[in-house]
Structures are given as C-alpha cells and as structure tokens.
Amino acid sequence: MTRLDTQSTEVWPYLQAARKLHTQAAIAKHLDVDIRTVRRWELRQSQPPGYLVHALQRLLPLEAPTTPNAAFRFIDLFAGIGGIRLAFEEIGGQCVFTSEWDPYAQKTYAANFPSDHGISGDITQVNEMDIPDHDVLLAGFPCQPFSIAGVSKKNALGRLHGFADETQGTLFFDVARIIARKEPRAFLLENVKNLQSHDHGRTFEVIKNVLERELGYTVRCKVIDGAHFVPQHRERILIAGFKDSVAFDWDILDLPEKNVRRLKDILHRTDGSEPVLGHDGDKYFDHIKGRVDPKYTLTDHLWAYLQTYAAKHKAKGNGFGFGLVGPNDVTRTLSARYHKDGSEILIKQVGRKNPRRLTPRECARLMGLSDTFKIPVSDTRAYRQFGNSVVVPVIREAARVMRPFICEPHYQQPEFPGLVR
C-alpha cells in the first residue's frame, strides 16, 4: 500500500464522523473543495488526501458537537418555528438537520434552537445525499394538488410509474425522495385534516401508496383535535411510518377529555399574577396598569365592519362571521390569516365596547408553547407563524408513544384487555 493510500484510509473515520453532523455542502465549504469531490470521497470513487485529517478534526468539535446520550437522531423538515422538534427533543432525540424556507420563521426557530448545524432553506434545492443520516424524519409538509391524470394514463397503458411520477411538483415529493435515500427507522408527517378528503381522497391515496408500496413502510394515520390539550379546536392528521413491521397503533395514545382546558388558562392575567417575561420585553402586557396593551383592542371602525359583515351573512343563512369568546370558552382554529383582522377569535372585554384580538404571547400559549418560547418577530409575522404551527402537546403525546418503536426496533406494544381497535 502506498503512503497516499495509507493516509487516505486514515481520513475515512473523520470524514464519516463529519457526515453524521454536516451536509456534503458544509464539508466542501469547510475544506474549500467542490461538493462533487466530497461526494466522490463518500462513494469511495476517489481518495481524500491524508492532510485533511487535521481539517476534519477541527470541523468536528468546533462546528457540530455531538450529543453522546441522544437516544436517536432526527431531521426537521418544513420546520416552521420548531413545534415538532420540541416534542422529539423532549424524548431524547437530537436534531441533526433543519429545513425551513421562510426567513422570518427561521429567525424565530434560531432564537429558540441555537444550533451548530444551522438552518437550510428551500428543501427542493437540497440534495438528499447532503442530509445527514438519521433515525427519524419529521415533516409538517404543506398540502399541494397532486396530478392524478398522468398516473391514470400510465395505468391504462400498462406502464410502470413511481413516486417521482406521481408526486413530482409537490413538496411531498421532497419528503419521499429523502425517505427513499436515507431510509430512516421511522417518520412522522403532520398535515391538515382535509388532506384525507382532498381531491375526493385521491391525494391521500397517492401519499399512502408511495409510503407503503413504493417505500415499504408500515403506516398508521390518526386525526387528533388539539382541544384534548389546549382550549382550541384544531384537527390535524398525523401519519406515522416505521421501516420495520411493528405493532404500533394510535389507540395507545393517552388523550385527555376534550374541552376541559378553557381560554382563561392561556389569557394574560390581570390579577397581578401575569409573569414578567424579560426576553419579550413585556411588549404585549402592561404590568404597571395590569392590562393587555390597548393596541390589541379593535377600533370602532373594524368592530363595526365585522358586525355588519356577520349580520349580512346571517341574513343569507350563512355561518360566516367573527368568533366572540370569553374566558370559559374554547376557540375556533387559529389560522395564519389571524393577523388580518383577528375575527376568528375575538376576546370579550369587561367594561369595554369593543373586543380584542389575542396577543402573540397568548397565541403561543394556545399552541401549547411555554412562556420561555421567544417571539423575536413582528406581530404580523408571529400571528402567521403560530397559525401555521402544531399544537405541541399533541406532538408530545405522539412522540411518547412512538419512542419505544424508534429506540427498540423489535418492541411490540402490550395487549390491553378490552381495548377496541
């Protein structure tokens, strides 16, 4: 063996360690080489020079310290503000890759998850080979229309087709191509409840077909209402998948009784017990006067418009209009459009003519986030982000029941006498 071969052999362990923590693009940038060069090294198509050992040694401790006690590694796609990540970190997971395209969501995410691996932008521009190995893929992917016509035509012609043909042009395709390449032990996908009925059920049919038949995963789906945990009706579908054939069943979820939590649990407290949050500068609540900032109260003009709008539709037999709620109520679903007029959730105010909208801090609480969660963006951006977020306690319970099947591949759930499946 030549000296070059010996030195190259010594580089492999460091390169492999770096790839568990960094993308090929990040390693290429650090070593000042072309990304294709790193890819050839990893595929053993060429030999890395021996002198790179020292450069890779510097890369490991300085940029991406490992978490030795992590129970598993996961990636966070379409990450938003990190609600899904929170739950899976709590059960012992380590996030090794994050993708989120919106720069304002990135800002909120970075403020709450200082991370050495950074945040990748548009996932459609990320090569799946550049994503670190991981045990679990997490994704709150957006729902987009799927083209069924092309698949039907291929079926009629007796031609083979795969997920690339069925889902190309949708963001689900990016989830599928990463699963196909990295083969994680498990995944959890989150979406709106209507994903099941979109396009008369054909969209969901394509998704399940890809995950089960094309990619070979055992898939279980469950629609859960956030009202089990927070004072908000918010139904979302969770799609769990496992590479191994396991006895996972969503029926093992421990869901509290719905509608027990009430709006008063998340509203700013005016009795002097509202916590002082230094990281937000108390920008939503005036502690001296013991009240919510008056800017969240609707103007006379907006309140008159909303009442007129509701009355007009009521006369036509429609249900459109504002949602006026008090401390003992449960709200409608908080949406990303809440910043426009706040009409879907308006809070009654004692002794005032006009109601008010929720503050961003109250929206965070409505999604099950603690008061330690930082909100570094404007109100408009914050409303959009919380309207697009997951209800964290729902994901926390999902993570809890998935953990044994992630960390113990041969785990079989115990039988519960009398459990109806």
Mean pLDDT of 247-265: 95
The pTM is what?
0.78
pLDDT of residue 253: 96
- 142: which 2 tokens? 């957006």
Q: Looking at domain 72-255+391-407, which of 3.40.50.2300, 3.40.50.150, 2.160.10.10, 3.90.1150.10 is its CATH number?
A: 3.40.50.150
Mean pLDDT of 381-397: 96
Q: Looking at domain 263-387, which of 3.90.1150.10, 3.40.462.40, 2.60.120.470, 3.90.120.10 is its CATH number?
A: 3.90.120.10
User: H or E stretch including 195?
Assistant: none
State the catalytic residues: 143
Mean pLDDT of 114-139: 90
Find the range with the poorest average confidence among 50-54, 128-132, 237-241, 357-361: 50-54
List, edge to edge, every strand of the sheet that includes 235-242: 93-98, 72-77, 136-139, 186-192, 235-242, 218-225
CB 346: neighbour CB atoms within 10 A? 21
pLDDT of residue 67: 59
The two domains 72-255+391-407 and 263-387 share their CATH topology (first three levels equal):
no
User: H or E stretch including 321?
Assistant: none
pLDDT of residue 6: 36
Domain boundaries, the chain: 3-63, 72-255+391-407, 263-387
CB contact set of 130 (below 8 Å; sequence gap of 6+)? 23, 24, 25, 35
- 94: which 2 tokens? 């380590």
> Distance between CA atoms of 213 and 160, rounded to whole angstroms?
13
CA-closest candidate to residue 279, choices 381, 371, 389, 189: 371
pLDDT, tens only, 207-216: 999 999 999 9
CA-closest candidate to residue 345, choices 366, 361, 370, 375: 366
Mean pLDDT of 48-68: 62
Q: Mean pLDDT over all residues of the chain?
A: 85
Is it the case that residue 390 has pLDDT exceeding 90?
Answer: yes
List, edge to edge, every strand of the sheet that includes 346-347: 324-325, 346-347, 356-357
Is it the case that residue 55 has pLDDT exceeding 80?
Answer: no
CB contact burial 394-420 (16+ within 10 A = b; e otherwise): bbbbbbebbbebbbeeeeeeeeeeeee
> Distance between CA atoms of 48 and 58, rounded to whole angstroms?
16
Mean pLDDT of 281-304: 91
Compare 240 and 341 and report the one with higher pLDDT.
240
pLDDT of residue 277: 82
> Distance between CA atoms of 159 and 151, rounded to whole angstroms?
9
